[in-house]
């Protein structure tokens, strides 16, 4: 993993066992949304504003079987 391609983002809300800060590939946050696979589902986060790397939890979905 190329460290130049990593961004440090802040997560707000969501499950308590998720870290508040993540290092994630920049191309995964290009559209302002990310999803994190966790316990048979996904935690969805959206960028709070275009000038910050803060993402707010929006929903949880289950992985389709």
Confidence of residue 4 (pLDDT cuts 50, 70, 90): confident
Residue 44 within a domain: no
pLDDT over 80 (residue 1):
no
Please count the structural domains in the chain.
1
Q: Which residues have C-beta within 8 Å of that of residue 48, sequence separation ≥ 6?
A: 12, 54, 55, 56
Residue 38 within a domain: no
Residue 22 within a domain: yes
Residue 35 within a domain: no
| 8-46 per-position pLDDT tens digit | 999 999 999 999 999 999 999 989 999 999 999 999 999
Residue 36 within a domain: no
Residue 41 within a domain: no
pLDDT over 70 (residue 54):
yes
Per-residue pLDDT at 18: 95
Q: Which residues in 2-21 are b (16+ Cβ under 10 Å) and which e?
A: eeeeeeebebeebeeeeeee
Domain of 24?
1-30+50-59
């Amino acid at each position: 993993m190329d460290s130049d391609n990593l961004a440090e983002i802040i997560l707000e809300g969501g499950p308590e066992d998720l870290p508040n800060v993540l290092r994630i590939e920049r191309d995964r946050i290009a559209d302002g949304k990310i999803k994190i696979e966790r316990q048979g589902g996904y935690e969805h986060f959206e960028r709070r504003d275009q000038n910050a790397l803060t993402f707010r939890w929006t929903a949880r979905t289950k992985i389709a079987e």
